[in-house]
A and B are shown apart, each in its own frame.
Chain A
Amino acid sequence: MSDPTSEFFAGISQQRQVLPRGLTGVVRCDLRDGERTEHWYVTIGKGDVTASREGAAADCVLTADKATFDAIAGGEMNAVAALLRGALSAQGEIILLTALQRLFPAPSDAQDRPVAGYARRTS
Chain B
Amino acid sequence: MSADVKILDGNTFVVSDDRGDIEASLTDPTGLFSFDTRFLSKWILTIDGQRLNPLSIDDLQYFETRFFLVPGTGTVYIDAKLSVIRQRAVSDGFHEDLTILNHAETAVDLTVRVEAACDFADLFEVKDALKKQGAYYARVDDGHLTLGYERETYVRETWISATEACTVDEDSLTFAVHVEPHEQWSTELHVAIGRDARGPASGLTAGGRRATAARPSMELSLQKWLDDAPELDCDWDPLKRTYRRSLVDLAALRFSPVMLPGHYLPAAGLPWFMTMFGRDSIFTSLQALPFNSDLARTTLTALGLWQGTRRDDFRDEDPGRILHELRFGEMTAFEERPHSPYYGSVDATPLYVVLLDEYERWTGDATLVRALEGQARAALAWIDDYADLQGNGYIAYQRRNEKTGLENQCWKDSWDSISYRDGRLPGFPRATCELQGYAYDAKMRGARLARLVWKDPAFAERLEKEAAGLKRRFNRDFWVEDGEYFALAVEPDGSKVDALASNNGHLLWSGIVDKSKAKAVARHLMSPAMFSGWGVRTLAEGEGRYNPIGYHVGTIWPYDNSFIAWGLRRYGFKEEAARIAAGILDAAEFFDGRLPEAFGGYERELTKYPVQYPTSCSPQAWSTGAPLLLLRTMLGLEPTGEHLLVDPALPSGVGRLELLDIPGRWGRMDAFGRGRVDVQKRSGRKTPGPAAPRKKS
Interface residues of A (CB under 8 A from B): 17-22, 47, 78, 80-81, 83-91, 94-95, 97-99, 102-107, 109-112, 114-123
Partner of B469, one of A17, A107, A123: A123
- Is A109 a contact of B309 with CB atoms below 8 Å? no
Stretch at the interface among B390-398, B521-529, B600-608: B390-398
Chain A residues contacting B384 (CB-CB under 8 Å) are 120
- Of the A-B pairs whose beta carbons lie under 8 Å apart in the complex, a sample of 28, sorted by A's number, is A18-B319, A18-B378, A20-B305, A20-B374, A21-B371, A21-B373, A22-B371, A80-B204, A84-B332, A85-B152, A85-B154, A86-B155, A86-B196, A86-B203, A86-B333, A90-B202, A91-B202, A95-B260, A106-B312, A107-B313, A110-B311, A110-B312, A111-B311, A111-B400, A114-B388, A116-B390, A119-B392, A121-B469
Q: B210 an interface residue at 8 Å Cβ cutoff?
A: no
What's the minimum C-beta distance from B126 to chain A, rounded to whole angstroms?
17
- Chain B: interface size category: 35 or more
What's the minimum C-beta distance from B30 to chain A, rounded to whole angstroms?
24
Nearest CB in chain B to that of A91: its residue: B202
> How far apart are the CA atoms of A94 and B256 in the complex, in Å?
13
> How far apart are the CA atoms of A19 and B306 in the complex, in Å?
10
- Is B469 a contact of A122 with CB atoms below 8 Å? yes
* Known contacts A20-B372, A47-B374, A95-B259; A84/B393 CB under 8 A: no
Chain B residues contacting A104 (CB-CB under 8 Å) are 310
Chain A residues contacting B328 (CB-CB under 8 Å) are 84
- Is B393 a contact of A120 with CB atoms below 8 Å? yes
> How far apart are the CA atoms of A98 and B341 in the complex, in Å?
11
Determine chain B's interface SS by DSSP, over half rule.
loop
Chain B residues contacting A18 (CB-CB under 8 Å) are 309, 319, 374, 378
Partner of A83, one of B204, B370, B374: B204
What's the minimum C-beta distance from A48 to chain B, rounded to whole angstroms?
12
> How far apart are the CA atoms of A118 and B697 in the complex, in Å?
54
Nearest CB in chain B to that of A68: its residue: B153
Chain A residues contacting B305 (CB-CB under 8 Å) are 20, 95, 98-99, 102
Chain B residues numbered 206-260 whose CB sits less than 8 Å from any CB in chain A: 258-260
Q: B334 an interface residue at 8 Å Cβ cutoff?
A: yes
What's the minimum C-beta distance from A32 to chain B, rounded to whole angstroms?
13
Q: B138 an interface residue at 8 Å Cβ cutoff?
A: no
Partner of B374, one of A21, A84, A86, A95: A21
Chain B residues contacting A98 (CB-CB under 8 Å) are 259, 305-306
Chain B residues numbered 353-391 whose CB sits less than 8 Å from any CB in chain A: 370-375, 378, 384-386, 388-391
Q: B335 an interface residue at 8 Å Cβ cutoff?
A: yes
> How far apart are the CA atoms of A97 and B305 in the complex, in Å?
10
Q: B492 an interface residue at 8 Å Cβ cutoff?
A: yes
Chain B residues contacting A47 (CB-CB under 8 Å) are 374
Chain B residues contacting A111 (CB-CB under 8 Å) are 311, 313, 400
Q: B186 an interface residue at 8 Å Cβ cutoff?
A: no
Given A22-B371, A84-B328; 18 other pairs, CB 8 A cutoff: A20-B371, A21-B374, A84-B332, A85-B153, A85-B154, A86-B155, A87-B152, A88-B203, A89-B203, A94-B203, A98-B259, A112-B311, A115-B429, A116-B391, A116-B429, A118-B385, A119-B391, A119-B392
What's the minimum C-beta distance from B200 to chain A, rounded to whole angstroms?
7
Q: B618 an interface residue at 8 Å Cβ cutoff?
A: no
* Known contacts A91-B200, A119-B392; A80/B311 CB under 8 A: no
- Is A84 a contact of B388 with CB atoms below 8 Å? no
Nearest CB in chain A to that of B314: its residue: A107
- Is A83 a contact of B203 with CB atoms below 8 Å? yes
- Is A86 a contact of B313 with CB atoms below 8 Å? no
> How far apart are the CA atoms of A119 and B203 in the complex, in Å?
41
> How far apart are the CA atoms of A118 and B21 in the complex, in Å?
56
What's the minimum C-beta distance from B132 to chain A, rounded to whole angstroms?
15
Chain B residues contacting A109 (CB-CB under 8 Å) are 313
Partner of A121, one of B319, B333, B375, B392: B392
> How far apart are the CA atoms of A110 and B87 in the complex, in Å?
52
Nearest CB in chain A to that of B304: its residue: A20
Partner of B334, one of A80, A81, A120: A81
Q: B340 an interface residue at 8 Å Cβ cutoff?
A: yes
> How far apart are the CA atoms of A120 and B465 in the complex, in Å?
14
- Is A81 a contact of B370 with CB atoms below 8 Å? no
Chain B residues numbered 453-477 whose CB sits less than 8 Å from any CB in chain A: 466, 469, 473
Partner of A110, one of B306, B313, B371: B313
> How far apart are the CA atoms of A94 and B87 in the complex, in Å?
34
Chain B residues numbered 547-603 whose CB sits less than 8 Å from any CB in chain A: none
Chain B residues contacting A107 (CB-CB under 8 Å) are 312-314
* Known contacts A94-B259, A121-B393; A86/B388 CB under 8 A: no
Q: B199 an interface residue at 8 Å Cβ cutoff?
A: yes
Q: B297 an interface residue at 8 Å Cβ cutoff?
A: no
Partner of B311, one of A90, A106, A123: A106
User: Interface 1/0s, chain B 64-92, versus A by CB < 8 A?
Assistant: 00000000000000000000000000000
Q: B632 an interface residue at 8 Å Cβ cutoff?
A: no
Q: B545 an interface residue at 8 Å Cβ cutoff?
A: no
> How far apart are the CA atoms of A112 and B200 in the complex, in Å?
40
What's the minimum C-beta distance from B101 to chain A, rounded to whole angstroms?
45
Partner of A20, one of B314, B315, B375: B375
Q: B38 an interface residue at 8 Å Cβ cutoff?
A: no
Chain A residues contacting B443 (CB-CB under 8 Å) are none
> How far apart are the CA atoms of A25 and B328 in the complex, in Å?
25
Chain B residues contacting A22 (CB-CB under 8 Å) are 371
Chain A residues contacting B190 (CB-CB under 8 Å) are none
What's the minimum C-beta distance from B512 to chain A, rounded to whole angstroms?
16
- Is B258 a contact of A94 with CB atoms below 8 Å? yes
Chain A residues contacting B466 (CB-CB under 8 Å) are 122
Chain A residues contacting B335 (CB-CB under 8 Å) are 78, 81
- Is A84 a contact of B398 with CB atoms below 8 Å? no
> How far apart are the CA atoms of A106 and B311 in the complex, in Å?
6
Chain A residues contacting B313 (CB-CB under 8 Å) are 107, 109-111
> How far apart are the CA atoms of A116 and B386 in the complex, in Å?
11
What's the minimum C-beta distance from B156 to chain A, rounded to whole angstroms?
9
Nearest CB in chain B to that of A22: its residue: B371
> How far apart are the CA atoms of A118 and B313 in the complex, in Å?
17
Chain B residues contacting A115 (CB-CB under 8 Å) are 389, 398, 400, 429
Q: B537 an interface residue at 8 Å Cβ cutoff?
A: no
Q: B445 an interface residue at 8 Å Cβ cutoff?
A: no
What's the minimum C-beta distance from A42 to chain B, rounded to whole angstroms?
16
What's the minimum C-beta distance from A108 to chain B, rounded to whole angstroms?
10
- Is B310 a contact of A106 with CB atoms below 8 Å? yes
Nearest CB in chain A to that of B468: its residue: A123
